[in-house]
Every structure is written in structure tokens, then in C-alpha cells.
Structure 1
Amino acid sequence: MNASENSLLKIYASTTDRIGFDLLYEHVVVAAKRQKIAGITVYRGIMGFGPSSKHIEQSRFWELTEKLPVVIEMIDKTELLENFYQFIKEDLEKVPKGCLVTMHPIDIKLQKSGILKNETK
């Protein structure tokens, strides 16, 4: 596959960021599914900070609620990801604490689909 036709879109934010009443990362995942993005993964960091952080945030086992870094990552055709970004851009711009969005061209070496649970051989 050609590197220029596929990209990796990443959104860096916080686990506590919200869009309306929804958590930002949940909002993005649901929107990506509706827009038929090939796949998306959300990673929660154990430590980090950003421009709006007053101090370094880190995971502590004794805390019930944690404000931690989160990375939302999706891979698909560059055109589809660009369209998806334009679709959610206004929502992301409303996040009070801010976020960072990057897109990088990638070279997919293998894309193999698995068998769905309700499919038979």
C-alpha cells in the first residue's frame, strides 16, 4: 500500500475532557464509527502534562478519579481521515483545556481482518 494514501490521525487530550455531557474520547470513537473510519484505539497514559497543565498528572492507585493523558489514534485512508477531522474540528475547538491533533502519512505493511464471532467457516 502507498504511504501517501494512508494516514495516522492522533488526538492528544485528557481523560476528563468533555464535549457536552460526553467524554471527549467516547464522543470521538462514536463519531468515527458512524463515519465508517476503519479503526480507532484510545490509549490512557500513566503520566503526562500539556500546555494547560499546572503540574504533571500521574496515575495513583489510591485516587478514585484521575485526570490522565489520553491518545485517540485512528488509521485509514488520508482523505477519509481529513474529512473526519473536518467533521469533528468544531467540537475539538470547544474543549476548554485544549487538545493537540496530528496526522502522519503511514505505510501499511499488513492489514488482515479477523473472523467475526457470528460468522461460520
Structure 2
Amino acid sequence: MRLEGSACRLTVIVGERDQYHHRPLFTEIVHRAKQAGLGGASVFRGLEGFGASSLIHTGHLWHLSDDLPIAIIIVDAEPKIRDFLQALDDLVTGGLVITDRVQVRRYLPGPAPTGGPTRS
């Protein structure tokens, strides 16, 4: 897929422990984005954060949390993102869903993999 120019960024922030049918919610969102034919999705694990509950979740050793913030970022054409938002309505019951317009400078597929690692 090739994408340049105006696009839409979808950011979904959920908790690491959030589940959908015994599966991590972020995994379900990524798989549905792929099924919907979106350009790609990336998942980032937060180091610290708080949300509507005002509880601070942190990854510091002295205060480990097993519910750190997870951000899923998807960029594609605005109509495709808008259509995908309907799928999120059933999935995201708590968290934050943000869309914003972005300019994509370059999004091209990388070189095709040439097999596994080689040994010298």
C-alpha cells in the first residue's frame, strides 16, 4: 500500500488488562484493523498514565502496575478510519478514542523478506 498526503490518524488508548472475549483488547483491535484493510496498526505500551478513574498506573519497579496504558495507532484515508470507528463502538467500552488529520510524507512497503536469518 502507498499512502501520501492528507490522511487520518486514529489513536485508541486502553488499559493493558482490557479484554475482549478472553483476548487482549489491543490484539482484537489490531486484527480487526487488518481485516478491514487498513494501512497498518502499531501498539505502544505506556510507561505511566492515568485516565478517567484518576488512578496513576506506572511501570516503576517500586510500584508495578499490570494495567499500563496501551496506545494503538492507525493511519489511513479518512473514510476508511471513519468506517472503522463503528467497529470500535462494540470493542472499546472504556478508554479514549481520538482522530486527527495528519499529513503523511511517506508510507511505502519495505523490501520483501528474503527468508530467515543467515549464519556465516
TM tier relative to shorter chain: 0.7 to 0.9
Q: 1:113 maps to which residue? A: 109
Which residue does the alignment assign to 1:83?
83
> How far off its partner does 1:113 sit?
1.6
Note the C-alpha offset of 1:61.
Answer: 4.1
Q: Please, which runs of 5 or more residues in structure 1 have no aligned partner?
A: none
Alpha-carbon distance, 1:111 to partner: 1.8
The separation in 2 between residues aligned to 1:116 and 1:62, in whole angstroms, is: 43
Indicate the larger mover: 110-119 or 78-87: 110-119
Q: Deviations over 1:32-60 (max 9, x none)?
A: 1111110100000010010124x211013
1:62 positional shift: 7.2
Q: Which residue of 2 aligns with 1:104?
A: 100
Match of 1:35 in 2: 36
In structure 2, stretches of 5+ residues that fail to align are: 116-120
What is the TM-score when the length of structure 2 is the normalising length?
0.83
Give the 3-state SS of the residue equivalent to 2:103 in structure 1.
Answer: coil
- Superposed CA RMSD in Å reads 1.9
- Report the residue type matching 1:26 in the other structure: T
1:85 is displaced (CA, Å) by: 1.1
> Structure 1: how far apart are the matches of 2:110 and 2:25?
29
- 4+ aligned runs moved over 3 Å, structure 1: 60-65
Identity of aligned residues (%): 25
